[in-house]
Amino acid sequence: MMDIHKILKQLPHRYPFLLVDRVLELEKGKRIKALKNVTINEPFFEGHFPNRPVMPGVLMLEALAQASALLSFDALGASPDDQMIYYFAGMNDVRFRRPVEPGDQLILEAELLRMKAGIFKFKTRALVGDELAVEAELTCAVRAIK
């Protein structure tokens, strides 16, 4: 539904911090399903951990926040510009259920719970196949850069 070229137009993140490779489904103002291909070439695997590479949990949450940002911009019917930034504002009920390793495909899902005055609340989860890797409630804010 949205390839990497469209994602690059929506998100300001770039390598090595862009963590969404493709949007698989997008229901305007409701939900998104996206994909992150996890490869051994990711720079964080060099140190996390050399003998057993595992994707850091904070980066799984960042991937979910990036997918949520794509849903937010679509819900607003707007594209971000140089005068706007999308911030993490909070995380609740975070649970890590399964390690994510090189070769895994991380399926990112976010459901928009609330949207008011530039504040967005999402119910999110990431899966590898049918296995839950992480779940969290995320709060994000869109703000003008001053």
Q: Which residues are catalytic?
A: 48
CA distance 71 to 59: 18
| Cα 7 versus chain centre, distance | 12
Q: Which of 61, 77, 40, 52 is nearest to 126 (CA)?
A: 61
Query: CB–CB of 81/125 below 8 Å?
Result: no
Residue type, 117: A
| CA dihedral sign of residues 104, 93, 23, 70 | negative
Q: Which residue has the tokens 């137009």?
A: 9
